[in-house]
Amino acid sequence: MSECNGNCSSCGQKGGCDSPLKKLEQNKDSKIKKVIGIVSGKGGVGKSLTTASLASVFQSKGYKTAIIDGDITGASIPNMFGLENGIASDGEYMIPAITKTGIKAISINLLLETPDSPVVWRGSMLSNVLKQFWTDVKWGDIDYMFIDMPPGTGDIPLTAFQSLPIDGIVIVTSPQDLVSMIVKKAYNMAKIMNIPIIGIIENMSYIECSDCGKRIYPFGEGKADLVAKELGVKLLAKNPIKPTIAKACDDGNIEDISLQAYDNAADMIIDILK
């Protein structure tokens, strides 16, 4: 089976998939300026943490910020922000939840009877939910929207790349030896779909000793900087392992955590997307 190159007009399977021929339009009550996809080649690298942290930093800088939790079967954004109430409706559109600092967010977990209810759906249904999160939500004025993608290069990232006006992606990885392959999977998919790559963020890079400040590399020194140089993209941040970050996520207080690395990454993203 050939790879999708984003050009439906030349595809031998035209009409045989759910791929749209053009980007979805915003509804009349939404004005979203910039859309950033947060992606990874595999799970467990801190993609949702990156989404939540970047959104929090952008909001703190005075930008109107929003999140689409696109990881439909593994949604975690509501937990990180302490969002528990369901989604309201004005009779025409869904109304996004609002975090304590004003970030607007939508997630399947806010629509389920209980957050631990499994989403046992096929790919086409999952992709349709993502589209509805774009077209059927009253977003209002948004400067930066972040989409937390599921890991890998499957249906939902493909739908997002083809259907939504994504201005660029941030690739999230970790320091293990597989980093090169992990990053290149996401990088190559974005290239095939003609989506700009903003840069790379490496999570779980090191532990900083609380006594002497020395950096300890439990997984070995990361290779993200070398991969970024090889691919010709920016290394936006190398973030530490901190128990306080995990606790903040568990307690729904991710907005209370401040990391200089994410703040610097946000400034770089703003500059790149000018």
Instruction: Encode pLDDT of 147-200 as tens digits.
Output: 999 888 788 889 999 999 999 999 999 887 677 788 898 999 999 999 999 999
Do the Cβ atoms of 190 and 180 come closer than 8 Å?
no
Give Cα separations from 96 to 134, 173, 181, 224 (angstroms).
Answer: 11, 29, 36, 35
Q: How confident is residue 143, by pLDDT bands cut at 50, 70 and 90?
A: very high
Q: What is the chain's alpha carbon radius of gyration, rounded to the nearest angstrom?
A: 18
- Whose CA is closest to 84, among 109, 102, 103? 109
Do the Cβ atoms of 111 and 64 come closer than 8 Å?
no
Model confidence over 222-254: pLDDT tens digits? Answer: 788 889 999 999 999 999 998 999 899 999 999
Rounded to the nearest integer, the mean pLDDT of the chain is 88
CA distance 208 to 212: 8
Q: How many CB atoms lie within 10 A of CB 116?
A: 7
pTM for this model (two decimals) = 0.89
Q: How confident is residue 70, by pLDDT bands cut at 50, 70 and 90?
A: very high
Higher-confidence position of 118 and 27: 27
First and final C-alpha spacing in the chain: 38
Higher-confidence position of 129 and 5: 129
Q: How confident is residue 211, by pLDDT bands cut at 50, 70 and 90?
A: confident
